[in-house]
């Protein structure tokens, strides 16, 4: 099957008459992300204590925790999965049906969309819901990306927070109409992992390699979308873990990407 693993923003390369844009150094991008999240924590709770609580929440049990969980969960709760195969270039995992809270941002930049989506979802777990209930941070921050078609097009980025076990059947309804509780059906995915920081450039590079490897191995997959999975807060500087997923065709979720829980799971 023919596939095109490209974001529109990347596909629209400057012509010879255009002046190329020099990307900001990675350190500057990471500093900006930290500042944005610190500002968000302050706005939600106020002052230095809010920043400390925010940091503890997303780095809880960072040196371990439940030994049944993968090391890259760093003690946080996340979805269960079964590793079907573990090859040199990629792994195949099977995920059961699970419940998440999600929001979709349309735009040309994955990095900008991610910042906006994270703020919406973080507000939800910080109490911006009908029960005014705070929900523990989980992993991963999962983003499904459906590339747009043609030049100057926009992509749809849907970001998800996994809902902890106590909220898997009846999560509180979000106050923000742009945030929705959803069910992700069972699915099999091919996974490639890499250290460092997740951004648009890294997602495209590793995703393109994954698509090529799957094609070479005659593994049927969905070429029209992919997932990114981030497991670390911007405050974590070492032992970082990121993933790109390709959905294996034949997964149950090929038929239904997600179901909306219209009334908070009722």
Q: Strand order of the sheet with strand 179-184? A: 82-86, 91-95, 187-194, 242-247, 226-230, 141-146, 155-162, 98-107, 179-184, 258-260
The span from the CA of 45 to the CA of 239, in Å, is 29
Q: 48-52, 137-141, 240-244: which range is least confident on average?
A: 48-52
Percent of the chain exceeding pLDDT 70 equals: 67
Domains belonging to the chain, first-starting first, are 25-260 (3.20.80.10)
Region of 245 please: left (phi>0), alpha (psi -120 to 50) or beta: beta
pLDDT tops 90 at residue 17: no
Q: By three-state DSSP, how is residue 196 classified?
A: coil
Among 184, 134, 148, smallest CA distance to 11 is for 148
pLDDT tops 60 at residue 6: no
Comparing 56 with 207, which gets the higher pLDDT?
207
Comparing 9 with 242, which gets the higher pLDDT?
242
Question: Which secondary structure element, helix H or strand E, spans residue 229, and what is its range?
Answer: strand 226-230
Q: What local confidence, expressed as pLDDT, does residue 149 receive?
A: 63
Q: What local confidence, expressed as pLDDT, does residue 15 receive?
A: 30
pLDDT tops 80 at residue 66: no
pLDDT tens readout for residues 221-233:
999 999 999 999 8
Strands 141-146 and 226-230: antiparallel
Q: What local confidence, expressed as pLDDT, does residue 46 receive?
A: 43
């Amino acid at each position: 099957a023919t596939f095109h693993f490209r974001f529109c923003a990347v596909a629209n390369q400057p012509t010879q008459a255009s002046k190329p844009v020099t990307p900001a150094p990675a350190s500057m991008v990471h500093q900006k992300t930290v500042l944005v999240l610190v500002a968000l924590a302050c706005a939600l709770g106020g002052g230095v204590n809010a920043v400390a609580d925010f940091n503890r929440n997303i780095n809880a049990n960072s040196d371990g925790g439940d030994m049944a969980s993968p090391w890259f969960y760093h003690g946080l709760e996340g979805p269960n999965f079964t590793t079907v195969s573990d090859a040199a270039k990629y792994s195949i995992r099977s995920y059961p049906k699970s419940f998440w809270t999600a929001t979709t941002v349309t735009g040309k930049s994955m990095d900008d969309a991610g910042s906006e989506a994270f703020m919406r979802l973080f507000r939800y777990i910080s109490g911006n819901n009908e029960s005014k209930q705070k929900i523990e941070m989980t992993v991963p921050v999962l983003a499904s990306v459906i590339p747009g078609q043609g030049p100057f097009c926009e992509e749809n980025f849907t970001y998800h927070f996994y809902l902890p076990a106590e909220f898997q059947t009846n999560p509180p309804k979000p106050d923000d109409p742009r945030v929705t509780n959803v069910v992700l059906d069972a699915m099999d995915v091919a996974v490639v992992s890499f250290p460092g920081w997740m951004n648009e450039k890294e997602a495209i590079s590793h995703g393109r390699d994954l698509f090529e490897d799957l094609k070479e191995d005659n593994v049927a997959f969905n070429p029209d979308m992919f997932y990114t999975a981030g497991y670390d807060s911007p405050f974590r500087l070492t032992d970082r873990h990121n993933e790109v997923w390709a959905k294996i065709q034949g997964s149950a979720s090929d038929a239904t990407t997600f179901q909306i829980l219209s009334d908070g799971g009722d």
